[in-house]
């Protein structure tokens, strides 16, 4: 039941209510139609009875009756019905008509009395009325009873009911269309909401700014509250990590100076080798702590961007200059090309600089064998910094994984794998993205793409 | 004109004449018609019907209307049977249908009839027979031929001697058609009472059957007969009787002979086929040429005086085939009417 679509449930429920309602209405219409048909044909019956009663008179002290042709012609208006009648004088003395017609008892007056009955196995409608005769030997009421079978009434009631039923069917069709339309419209905000949530950046935990009907507002509020809790939680964790990294840096610095002191002393070869390894691990630890801090910084700044114009050429030149100072175990040729229009973006200079530094670091430390080329330019409204190297590059299956923080490194080399995720976050905060390009046998290219600032 | 009679006439002492029209193919089906219609009238229609349906044999019984009525009433109660009833006393058929003794028959031919010519498709008016004034051409001078009821009253008033005892009409106590026609005269005419008085002064001769009236007219025992069914009168005219036929100008009563399929009919399909034949163009053509002569929309038969077309004028008063006839069948009404009739004719009140 719970799995049934709301649409099906709503339509089913409405159909059920409508069917029950229609049944009740049809029965009611039939009952009403019967009453209406009875009313219509009862007039004929009463009219005919009055006409016959009008001919009841007294001749030579005897009650006589002369049923007029017009009375029967009037009854003939109920096409197809048989006519039974009976006229009795005071004391139930039969004057004319069907002797075995059962007349309902009760006092007779001039007021017509209608009743249902049966005659010779057929349902009939009777009217009885009286005419008081004074100048007979025994004054009293003459009783006129006229009855008719019900087929004209049934036909009329049936056709009236069918008319009502036809209207109900049309109404039902209209209701179905209205319900389908209403359900569709009612669910539009929900599907729109779903669409908005699906399309949302996973890191965007701001309240949903979607206008919805009041019924859905509760759901939106719940989602917003949940996202706010989540955001607070994440913020707390990030601050915790940043604090932790910061706290770790101080003992690390102390550790490093201790290591320096140790290295300045002559040590046996085996111990020197151990010291060397400790030094490497300590460096790794420092880098990790720095990256964690960087990441926290990026996340922090990303949420608080105060955009200013940033010249990407200038940025690239500076960061490339910094990179050039890094000690390397091999000669690498660095170059910077500028293509096309000046590459200006609106953004946070530090954040973008950190992002670029990370990319350059990565390329230099893990990629470039002998060549690292940086190109800056604007094309099609997008400002781009491309970083190409002649290294092995990142295998394509890992392209999406490396965008995530703390991804498991496949190459077994040291590092927390935070570098590119910092880049991704920084670029995302600017509405940009990180792309990879690899032509087999040729250079591996990382592209930082940002919306260009309109001149 | 009917030189060969394939049927076997069985004149039984106590029963009605029975004629059997065998089928020309074997095996055959038998349609049993109980009628109050002279054999000579119906025979051309039966034979023409049999040329269309050679597999149907017909047993034809010709009753007096009252006998036919009691037969049909008994048949309705389960005693005795007829497959098709055909009667000029259409009020009796309506009464039977009202009491649930009839089967309905619906066909295009029946539906084409005007609503007053059929009731519930159970009693179906299959003929068109005006009630006419018939006179003896040798005894009534042309100047005295009455062309309306008023003229007839005047004639009897101005020439009481010449017509005394020489005016005839149906005995309405014994001839159901006579009673039916008289009832509708009383409904339609304001001068019916005066007509009855005139009849009374002239010592109206009341005869039970059309044939008797026509025979006495031909023999000169009657000079004028009132309310004779036109079909019988015209047949006598064609047979050479010295009579003239007048359609009254004031109004013409038109009777439709009724056909009814009784509830217990063993051959309702054959009966329906016969009714449909009577209503078909071919049946109507045969009827107008050789059986009933008058039709609703055809020209008047040659030699009939009065209006040129029966359907044209307002003068036609059709006796409706419907519940109105129940009033005619009403016992008290009949008793009262017969009482008035007798009184007007100056006869002792029977009781």
Same structural domain, A377 and A449: yes
Q: At what angle do helices A269-303 and A349-362 cross, to 10 degrees?
A: 140
A59 with A85, same domain: the answer is yes
Count of beta carbons in the 10 Å neighbourhood of residue B88: 28
Examine the domain organization and report whether B68 and B192 are in the same domain.
no
| Claim to verify: residue B23 and residue B146 sit in the same structural domain | no
Domain count for chain A:
3
pLDDT of A438 over the 90 cut: no
Distance from CA of B289 to the nearest CA of A (A): 34
Tell me, rounded to whole angstroms, the distance of Cα A255 from its chain centroid.
59
In 3-state terms, what secondary structure has residue B139? coil
The pTM of this model reads: 0.70
Contact A83 B99 (CB under 8 A): no
pLDDT tens-digit map of B267-310: 999 999 999 999 999 999 999 998 898 888 777 888 887 766 66
Based on the structure, what is the number of domains in chain B?
2
- Chain A interface test: which of B114, B119, B324, B328 (most A C-beta within 10 Å): B324
Whether B66 and B174 share a structural domain = no
Task: Show residues of chain B in contact with A68, CB under 8 Å.
Answer: 327
Task: Verify that B42 and B99 share a domain, yes or no.
Answer: yes
Instruction: Mark residue A412 as left, alpha or beta (left: phi above 0; alpha: psi -120 to 50; beta: remaining).
Output: left
pLDDT digits (tens, 9 = 90+) for A304-348: 666 788 888 888 888 888 888 877 778 888 888 888 777 888 888
At residue B11, the pLDDT reads 41
Q: What are A33-49's pLDDT values in tens digits?
A: 999 999 999 999 999 99
Same domain for B34 and B180?
A: no
**Which positions in chain A touch B183 (Cβ < 8 Å)?**
69
Among A128-137, A359-368, A410-419, which is the least confidently predicted range?
Answer: A410-419
Touching check for B323 and chain A: CB below 8 Å?
Answer: yes
Q: Which residues of B touch A123 (CB under 8 A)?
A: none
Inter-chain contacts counted by CB atoms under 8 A, chains A and B: 54
Residue A335, domain CATH: 3.30.565.10
Query: Does A348 share its domain with A283?
Result: no
Q: Tell me if B332 and A95 make a contact (CB, 8 A cut-off).
A: yes
Tell how far CA A119 is from the center of its chain.
Answer: 65
Same domain, A389 and A340: yes
**Would you place residue B2 in the very low, low, confident or very high pLDDT band (cuts 50, 70, 90)?**
very low
Residue B7, pLDDT > 50, answer no
Same domain, B226 and B89: no
Helix (H, G, I), strand (E, B) or coil at B206: strand
CATH code for the domain of B93 = 3.40.190.10
At residue A354 the predicted structure's pLDDT band, cuts being 50, 70 and 90, is confident
Of B97, B98, B332, the CB nearest to A67: B332
Q: Within this chain, do residues B86 and B167 fall inside the same structural domain, yes or no?
A: no
Same-domain check for residues A94 and A207: no
Q: Tell whether B120 and B194 lie within a shared domain.
A: no
- Nearest CA to B209 out of B291, B126, B328, B88 is that of B88
- The answer to whether residue B30 is domain-embedded is yes
Distances, alpha carbon A80 to alpha carbons A103, A152, B71, in Å = 23, 7, 24
Least confident of A155-159, A344-348, B35-39: A344-348
Q: Is B73 on the interface with A (CB under 8 A)?
A: no
Interchain contact B67–A (C-beta under 8 A): no
**Structural domain contains residue B77:** yes
Which pLDDT band, with edges at 50, 70 and 90, does B314 fall under? low
Please state whether beta strands A371-379 and A333-340 pair in parallel, antiparallel, or not at all (unpaired).
parallel
- Range of A53's domain? 6-158
In a domain, A163, yes or no: no
Q: Which of A375-379, A398-402, B67-71 has the lowest mean pLDDT?
A: A398-402
A73 and B332 within 8 Å at the Cβ level: the answer is no
Task: Give me the residue label for tokens 């057929």.
Answer: A122
Which of B327, B335, B347, B187 is CA-nearest to residue A63? B335
The partner residue sitting opposite B332, judged by closest CB among A64, A69, A82, is: A64
Instruction: Give yes or no for residue B5 having a pLDDT over 60.
Output: no
For the question of an ipTM over 0.85, the answer is yes
Asked whether the beta carbons of residue B326 and residue A95 sit closer than 8 angstroms, the reply is no
- Among B100, B323, B331, beta carbon nearest to A72: B323
Residues of A whose CB is below 8 A from B331: 96-97
Work out the pLDDT band at B76, boundaries 50, 70, 90.
very high
Answer yes or no: is B2 within a domain: no
Inter-chain CB proximity B99 and A122 less than 8 Å = no
Q: What is the mean pLDDT of chain B?
A: 89
**Pair (A319, A218) in one structural domain:** no
Q: Hey, is the C-beta of B144 within 8 angstroms of any chain A C-beta?
A: no
Q: By the 8 A CB rule, do A438 and A396 touch?
A: yes
Question: Do B194 and B328 belong to one domain?
Answer: yes
The closest CB to that of B324, out of A73, A80, A97, belongs to: A73
Domain containing residue B53 = 8-127+256-279
Whether residue B164 is found in the same domain as residue B26: no
| Structural domain contains residue B284 | no
With CA atoms as reference, the chain B residue closest to A52 would be: B327
Same domain, A207 and A150: no
Q: Do A67 and B331 touch (CB under 8 A)?
A: no
């Amino acid at each position: 039941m719970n799995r049934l679509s709301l649409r099906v449930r709503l339509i089913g429920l409405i159909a059920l209510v409508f069917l029950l309602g229609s049944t009740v209405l049809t029965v009611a219409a039939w009952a009403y139609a019967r009453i209406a048909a009875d009313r219509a044909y009862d007039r004929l019956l009463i009219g005919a009875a009055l006409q016959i009663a009008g001919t009841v008179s007294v001749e030579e002290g005897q009650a006589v009756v002369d049923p007029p042709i017009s009375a029967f012609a009037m009854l003939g208006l109920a096409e197809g019905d048989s006519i039974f009648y009976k006229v009795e004088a005071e004391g139930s003395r039969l004057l004319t008509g069907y002797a075995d017609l059962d007349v309902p008892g009760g006092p007779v007056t001039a007021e017509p009395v209608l009743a249902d009955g049966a005659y010779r196995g057929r349902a009939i409608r009777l009217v009885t009325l009286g005419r008081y005769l004074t100048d007979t030997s025994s004054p009293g009421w003459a009783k006129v009873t006229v009855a008719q079978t019900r087929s004209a009434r049934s036909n009329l009631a049936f056709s009236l009911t069918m008319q009502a039923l036809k209207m109900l069917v049309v109404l039902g069709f209209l209701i179905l269309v209205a319900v389908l339309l209403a359900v569709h419209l009612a669910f539009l905000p929900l599907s729109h909401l779903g669409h908005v949530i699906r399309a949302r950046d996973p890191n965007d935990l701001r309240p949903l700014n979607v206008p919805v009907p009041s019924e859905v507002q509760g759901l939106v509020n719940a989602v917003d509250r949940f996202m706010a809790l989540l955001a607070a939680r994440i913020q707390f964790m990030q601050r915790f990590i940043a604090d932790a990294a910061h706290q770790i840096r101080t003992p690390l610095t102390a550790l490093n100076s201790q290591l320096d002191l140790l290295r300045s002393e002559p040590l046996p070869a085996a111990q020197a080798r151990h010291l060397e390894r400790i030094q490497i691990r300590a460096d790794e630890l420092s880098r990790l702590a720095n990256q964690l801090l960087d990441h926290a910084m990026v996340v922090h700044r990303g949420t608080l961007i105060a955009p200013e114009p940033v010249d990407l050429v200038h940025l690239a030149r500076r960061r490339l200059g910094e990179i050039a100072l890094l000690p390397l175990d091999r000669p690498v040729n660095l170059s910077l090309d500028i293509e096309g229009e000046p590459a200006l973006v609106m953004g946070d200079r530090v954040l973008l600089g950190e992002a670029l530094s990370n990319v350059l670091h990565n390329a230099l430390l893990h990629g470039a064998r002998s060549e690292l080329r940086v190109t800056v330019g604007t094309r099609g409204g997008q400002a781009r910094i491309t970083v190409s190297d002649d290294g092995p590059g990142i295998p394509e299956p890992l392209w999406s994984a490396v965008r995530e923080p703390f991804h498991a490194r496949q190459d077994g080399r040291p590092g927390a794998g935070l570098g590119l995720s910092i880049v991704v976050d920084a670029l995302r905060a600017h509405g940009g993205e990180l792309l990879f390009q690899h032509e087999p046998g040729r250079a591996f290219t990382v592209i930082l793409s940002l919306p260009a600032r309109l001149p | 004109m009917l030189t060969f009679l394939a049927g076997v006439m069985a004149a039984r002492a106590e029963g009605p004449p029975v004629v059997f029209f065998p089928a020309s193919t074997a095996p055959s089906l038998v349609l049993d018609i109980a009628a109050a219609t002279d054999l000579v009238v119906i025979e051309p229609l039966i034979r023409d019907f049999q040329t269309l349906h050679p597999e149907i044999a017909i047993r034809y019984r010709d009753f007096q209307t009252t006998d036919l009525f009691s037969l049909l009433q008994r048949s309705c109660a389960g005693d005795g049977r007829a497959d098709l009833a055909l009667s000029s006393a259409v009020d009796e058929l309506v009464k039977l249908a009202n009491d649930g003794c009839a089967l309905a028959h619906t066909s295009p031919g029946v539906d084409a009839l005007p609503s007053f010519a059929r009731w519930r498709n159970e009693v179906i008016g299959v003929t068109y027979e005006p009630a006419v004034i018939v006179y003896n051409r040798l005894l009534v001078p042309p100047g005295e031929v009455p062309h309306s009821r008023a003229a007839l009253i005047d004639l009897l008033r101005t020439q009481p001697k010449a017509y005394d005892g020489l005016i005839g009409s149906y005995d309405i106590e014994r001839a159901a058609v006579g009673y039916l026609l008289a009832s509708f005269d009383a409904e339609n005419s304001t001068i019916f009472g005066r007509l009855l008085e005139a009849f009374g002064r002239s010592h109206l001769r009341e005869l039970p059957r059309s044939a008797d009236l026509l025979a006495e007219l031909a023999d000169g025992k009657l000079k004028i007969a009132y309310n004779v069914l036109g079909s019988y009168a015209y047949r006598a005219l064609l047979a050479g009787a010295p009579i003239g036929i007048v359609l009254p100008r004031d109004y013409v009563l038109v009777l439709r002979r009724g056909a009814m399929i009784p509830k217990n009919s063993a051959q309702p399909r054959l009966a329906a086929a016969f009714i449909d034949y009577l209503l078909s163009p071919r049946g109507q053509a045969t009827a107008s040429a050789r059986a009933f002569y008058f039709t609703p929309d055809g020209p008047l038969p040659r030699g009939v005086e009065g209006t040129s077309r029966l359907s044209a004028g307002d003068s036609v008063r059709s006796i409706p085939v419907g519940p109105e006839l129940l009033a005619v069948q009403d016992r008290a009404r009949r008793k009262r009417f017969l009482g008035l009739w007798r009184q007007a004719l100056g006869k002792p009140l029977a009781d």
